[in-house]
């Protein structure tokens, strides 16, 4: 049988496709440096930034927003109540302050007094209340993040009170991202909100916008924080093919773009600046059926541990990710509270030991399972198939249309799914991966010991103590092999003269990831 190592080496051509999909879950985009004139320009607030992305926003309706590259558009149009700074810490934004009650079940936010929609109308707490209430009652990617919200009220024009059924440690982070946008209560339900919403953000969509192809946004100089946005015009261009993105970068059609590792030296030689972000997502084999409803074997901890030993993570990073990333057996952000470097190495690449564990679990001849073949998995499928076959697990891949990728996870049709898990703050990652409401926990697996850990986290008001508890959460997920993480996936940004990319531990991409050179 062909070894995993030789199979990985034969798949280096798949690396560009693999990292392209990962980029969709992270960030994205340059005039050609050959002109030379950009190098002579002094920093100006009249410059234009053009960014290449691989897919357009599915919708600009506040209740239907998706994160990843789509946020270059919506985060320019909408204000969020809070924001996450470059170090991953929550800071004031549209809400200038916030306070929790002693029991952590009421969050009160105070809005700035100078917020305005692009129409000129003032933003009030009723707009915030209407947006949050609509998001929590409307099916969409953001709804589950407000699952613990029982009501939202507006005691006065600048105060918002959010009532919770139980403490939610990730709520502040949610309010700093898509869940926390502010829509205009007068037009939230309008059909036009999907394409031309009214927002209070730093930019407004121009008439030059071609939906699905290019989003042209002009800075609002009446915006309360306009000084933080140095580019007068921002263009987000949809270019699905990564090679076409690089060609657009070289031709000066965009001023910043994600590039593939083999293009790095060429880009630097052409005068572009290339910066690497080592971890923007985690490549994870999600072992969703931990209750054993479809595949009884997955309910056995030894089986899940065996699966973790099946992968040569170092070689996968080298060959399939072109070295842009790093091996891991954790799903948590390496810059976050839950990450524990001492856990790395818990599961080495050991096929013999993996087969022994399967035998001890009662599966000496292995077993079979079906997984969805999606845009996320396709580049990795030969390696995953061979790695699992080498320890006795036969995988059948069932094709899933691109538009059904997310639905394939939620369908409970598949016991395991290969996925790129976005990296964020610890509580949000737990909420996305392990709680009963989590998107990546479709079988609603629970464990009394684990539930107690999560409850302790939620009830802990001290940041330092909560960080220690999150490390215990990560230790539990690794020890009990709840999933089979493979690698952190990184990205390479290339920018033309005149534009700086600002590396950050924050996963939500916005135009604030870029600056005018010299400023």
CATH of the domain at 223: 3.40.190.10
Mean pLDDT of 184-199: 92
pLDDT tens sequence across 480-499: 999 999 999 999 999 999 99
Query: Which band of pLDDT confidence, cut at 50, 70 and 90, is reported for residue 376?
Result: confident
Residue 444 located in a structural domain: yes
Q: What pLDDT is recorded for position 21?
A: 52
Is the domain of 344 the same as that of 473? Answer: yes
Nearest to 135 by CA among 61, 190, 43, 76: 61
| 66 part of a folded domain | no
Domain range enclosing 269: 20-61+195-278+491-516
Tokens of 349: 């690449």
Residue 1 pLDDT > 50: no
Q: How far apart, in whole angstroms, are the C-alpha atoms of residue 349 and residue 506?
A: 31
Does 327 score more than 70 pLDDT?
yes
Q: Which of 133, 163, 192 is the last residue of a domain?
A: 192
Q: Over 70: is that where the pLDDT of 457 sits? A: yes
305 and 394: one domain?
yes
pLDDT band at 137 (very low <50, low <70, confident <90, very high): very high
The predicted-structure confidence for 228-246, as pLDDT tens digits, reads as follows 999 999 999 999 888 999 9
Q: Is residue 67 a part of any domain in this protein?
A: no
Q: What one-character-per-residue DSSP string does 256-284 give? A: EEEE-GGGHHHHHHTT-EEEEEEEEEEEE
* 69 within a domain of the structure (yes/no): no
More confident residue, 428 or 213: 213
In this structure, what token pair is assigned to residue 404? 């059904």
Q: How confident is the model at residue 144 (pLDDT cuts 50, 70, 90)?
A: confident
Higher pLDDT among residues 141 and 183, named by residue: 183
Please state the domain count of the chain.
Answer: 3
DSSP state of 26: S
From 192, 216, 247, the end of a domain falls on: 192
* Ramachandran bin of 189, using left for φ above 0, alpha for ψ from -120 to 50, beta for the remaining angles: alpha
Residue 431, domain CATH = 3.10.105.10
Task: Examine the domain organization and report whether 117 and 158 are in the same domain.
Answer: yes
Asked if 177 and 508 touch (Cβ cutoff 8 Å), the reply is yes
Compute, in degrees rounded to 10, the torsion defined by CA atoms 457, 176, 436, 166: 50
184 within some domain: yes
pLDDT of residue 141: 84
3-state secondary structure (DSSP) of residue 513: helix
Q: Mapping DSSP to helix (H, G, I), strand (E, B) and coil, where does residue 70 land? A: helix
How do residues 13-72 score in pLDDT, each as one tens digit? 444 455 555 555 444 333 333 333 333 444 567 899 999 998 899 899 999 998 888 999
Please tell me the distance from the alpha carbon of residue 395 to that of residue 388, in angstroms, as a whole number: 7
- Indicate whether 68 belongs to any domain: no
- 373 and 448 in a single domain? The answer is yes
235 with 346, same domain: the answer is no
- Do 272 and 286 lie in one domain? The reply is no
**pLDDT value at position 404?**
85
Domain shared by 83 and 187, yes or no: yes
- pLDDT level of residue 344 (50, 70, 90 thresholds): very high
**90-99, 196-205, 424-433: segment of lowest average pLDDT:** 424-433
Residues 355 and 469 in one domain: yes
DSSP string, 313-345: HHHHHHHHSTTSEEE-S--S-TTSTT--GGGTT
Range from 24-38, 96-110, 198-212, 293-307 carrying the lowest mean pLDDT: 24-38
Give 199-250 as a 3 state SS string.
Answer: CCCCEEECCCCECCCEEEEEECCCCCCHHHCCCCEEEEEECCCHHHHHHHHH
Kindly state whether residues 250 and 372 are assigned to the same domain: no
- 252-308: per-residue pLDDT in tens? 999 999 998 999 999 999 999 999 988 888 999 999 999 999 999 999 999 999 999
97 lies in some domain: yes
Statement to judge: residues 55 and 200 lie in one domain: yes
Pair 267, 402 in one domain? no
Please tell me whether residues 322 and 441 are part of one structural domain: yes
What is the C-alpha to C-alpha distance for residues 328 and 326, in angstroms, rounded to an integer? 7
What is the pLDDT confidence band of residue 176, given thresholds at 50, 70 and 90?
very high
Average pLDDT of the chain?
89
Confidence of residue 76 (pLDDT cuts 50, 70, 90): very high
The verdict on residue 71 lying in a domain is no
- 81-96 burial string, b = 16+ CB within 10 Å, else e? bbbbeeebebeebbbe
Domain boundary among 192, 215, 230: 192
Q: What is the CATH number of the domain that holds 124?
A: 3.90.76.10
């Amino acid at each position: 049988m062909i070894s995993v190592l030789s199979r990985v080496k034969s798949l280096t051509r798949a690396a560009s496709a693999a990292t392209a999909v990962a980029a969709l879950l992270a960030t994205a985009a340059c005039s050609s440096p050959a002109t030379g004139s950009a190098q002579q320009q002094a920093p100006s607030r009249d410059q234009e930034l053009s960014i290449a992305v691989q897919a357009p926003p599915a919708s600009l309706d506040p209740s239907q927003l998706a994160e990843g590259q789509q946020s270059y558009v919506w985060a320019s149009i909408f204000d969020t109540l809070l924001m996450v700074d470059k170090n991953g810490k929550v800071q004031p934004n549209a809400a200038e302050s916030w306070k929790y009650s002693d029991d952590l079940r009421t969050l009160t936010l105070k809005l700035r007094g100078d917020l305005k929609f692009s129409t000129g109308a003032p933003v009030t707490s009723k707009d915030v209340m209407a947006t949050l209430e609509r998001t929590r009652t409307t099916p969409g990617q953001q709804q589950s993040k407000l699952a613990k919200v029982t009501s939202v009220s507006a005691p006065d024009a600048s105060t918002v009170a959010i009532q919770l059924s139980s403490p939610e440690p990730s709520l502040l982070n949610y309010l700093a991202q898509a869940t926390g946008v502010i829509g205009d209560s007068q037009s939230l339900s309008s059909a036009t909100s999907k394409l031309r919403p009214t927002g209070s953000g730093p930019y407004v969509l121009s008439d030059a916008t071609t939906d699905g192809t290019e989003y042209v946004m002009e800075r609002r100089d009446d915006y309360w924080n306009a000084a933080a946005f140095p580019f007068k015009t921002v263009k987000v261009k949809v270019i699905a093919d990564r090679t076409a993105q690089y060609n657009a970068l070289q031709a000066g059609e965009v001023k910043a773009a994600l590039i593939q590792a083999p293009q790095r030296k060429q880009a630097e030689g052409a005068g572009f600046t290339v910066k690497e972000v080592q971890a923007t997502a985690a490549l994870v084999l999600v072992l969703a059926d931990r209750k054993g409803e479809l595949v009884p074997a997955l309910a056995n901890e030894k089986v899940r541990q065996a699966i973790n030993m099946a992968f040569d993570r170092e070689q996968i990073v080298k060959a399939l990710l072109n070295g842009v990333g790093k091996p891991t057996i954790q799903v948590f952000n390496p810059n976050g509270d839950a990450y524990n470097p001492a856990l790395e190495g818990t599961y080495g690449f050991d096929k013999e030991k993996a087969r022994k564990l399967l035998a001890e679990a009662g599966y000496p001849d292995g077993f079979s399972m079906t997984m969805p073949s999606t845009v996320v998995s396709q580049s990795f499928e030969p390696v995953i198939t061979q790695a699992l076959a080498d320890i006795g697990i036969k995988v059948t891949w069932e094709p899933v249309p691109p538009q059904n990728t997310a639905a394939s996870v939620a369908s409970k049709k598949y016991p395991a799914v290969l996925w790129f898990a976005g990296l964020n703050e610890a509580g949000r990652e737990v909420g996305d991966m392990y709680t009963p409401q989590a998107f990546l926990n479709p079988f609603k697996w629970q464990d009394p010991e684990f539930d107690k850990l999560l409850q302790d986290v939620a009830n802990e008001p001290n940041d330092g103590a909560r960080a220690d508890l999150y490390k215990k959460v990560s230790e539990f997920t690794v020890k009990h092999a709840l999933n089979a993480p493979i690698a952190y996936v990184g990205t390479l940004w290339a920018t033309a003269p005149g534009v700086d990319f600002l590396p950050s531990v924050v996963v939500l991409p916005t135009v604030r990831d870029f600056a005018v050179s010299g400023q």
